[in-house]
Amino acid sequence: MSAIVRVEGLNKYFGPLHVLKDIDFEVAPTEVICIIGPSGSGKSTLLRCINFLEQPDFGVIEVGGVRVEAHGRGRAYRHKIHELRLKTGMVFQSFNLFPNMTALGNVIEGPVTVKGMDKAEALELGMHYLEKVGLADKQDEYPSRLSGGQQQRVAIARAMAMEPEVMLFDEPTSALDPELIGEVLGVMQQLVEDGMTMLTVTHEMGFARQFANRILFMDNGRIVEAGPPAQLFDNPKDERTRDFLGAITRLGSHE
């Protein structure tokens, strides 16, 4: 099957800092990928380059048939980035719900404002996704009155309501109290079961082991090692992978 995401020769600098080095990989439809690695290894930057929240310096990103080069100017180029963003949905570590809108308002904002969807139709769609994340009863609540776990579930519904082809999760549970992590992982598990293509930067090794088709281990701006969870977790080939996995098991993460 042809890839739904292609990253070719991706390089990114923050000033003199070379944070992504010659990244190449492909993602097949319905594939679930977890990106792990030490902090500062470039995991989040990689994810953010895929929907151009960070402008890559070199390389090509392709999502759902939309190919965008790292360099470009003008209206046509900006339109391509816009198209690419419509193919992706993103969930952030800090939720970033719009505080001036209700839960339902957050979910229908994209369909109404971006896609120009009819309000009644959008409300129906919005309720569908709020139900999917188990928060239909919170439709009229403002984010400030929701728990972190509930906010993140609304954020997932907001991204899903744009019906993207690929979902990007940037440490979706890192800002949550431990007892709230489960409800968010539960929603993500449901997306996996629905066949969503997902790229997730995470420290939840349990989730990665159980649901990922492939793990990418990053260190120092490179993908050091990639493979199915059984191979990467139980039989890592690279020394850096072994060091990292050793360190997190010593710290007793949620295994």
Site string for another protein, 94-133 (x = CB under 8 A): x-xxxxxx-------xx--xx-------------------
Query: Least Å distance between CB 79 and another protein?
Result: 10
Residue showing tokens 């977790």: 233
- Give the nearer residue to another protein in terms of CB position, either 80 or 209: 80
Between strands 222-227 and 214-219, the pairing is antiparallel
The interface region with another protein, picked from 19-27, 57-65, 151-159, 174-182 by CB under 8 A, is: 151-159
Task: For residue 166, give Cα distances in angstroms to 32, 98, 153.
Answer: 10, 22, 17
The interface region with another protein, picked from 156-164, 178-186, 200-208, 221-229 by CB under 8 A, is: 156-164
The interface region with another protein, picked from 126-134, 141-149, 193-201, 221-229 by CB under 8 A, is: 141-149
Q: Do residues 216 and 33 lie in contact, with contact meaning Cβ atoms separated by under 8 Å? A: yes
Residue showing tokens 């001036």: 100
Query: Least Å distance between CB 115 and another protein?
Result: 8
How many residues of this chain bind another protein (CB under 8 A)? 28
- Give the nearer residue to another protein in terms of CB position, either 28 or 101: 101
Q: Is the dihedral of CA 160, 58, 225, 233 positive or negative?
A: negative
Alpha helices in the chain (DSSP H): 43-50, 74-87, 103-109, 119-132, 148-160, 178-193, 205-211, 229-234, 239-250
- Give the nearer residue to another protein in terms of CB position, either 113 or 174: 113
Site string for another protein, 45-64 (x = CB under 8 A): ------x-x-----------
Query: Least Å distance between CB 186 and another protein?
Result: 22
Question: Of 19, 14, 30, 79, which is closest to residue 194 (Cα–Cα)?
Answer: 30
Of the candidate residues 159, 166, 181, 199, the single one contacting another protein (CB under 8 A): 159
Q: Is the dihedral of CA 128, 129, 134, 138 positive or negative?
A: negative
Query: Least Å distance between CB 2 and another protein?
Result: 24
Query: Least Å distance between CB 216 and another protein?
Result: 21
Q: Does 88 bind another protein (CB under 8 A)?
A: yes
- Give the nearer residue to another protein in terms of CB position, either 130 or 232: 130
Say how far apart CA 165 and CA 194 lie, in whole Å: 12
Within 160-179, the residues that bind another protein by CB under 8 A are 162
Half-sphere exposure of 157 (CA within 13 A, CB side): 32
Alpha helices in 92-222 (DSSP H): 103-109, 119-132, 148-160, 178-193, 205-211
Chain contacts with another protein (rule: CB under 8 A):
51, 53, 82, 85-86, 88-90, 92, 94, 96-101, 109-110, 113-114, 142-145, 155, 158-159, 162
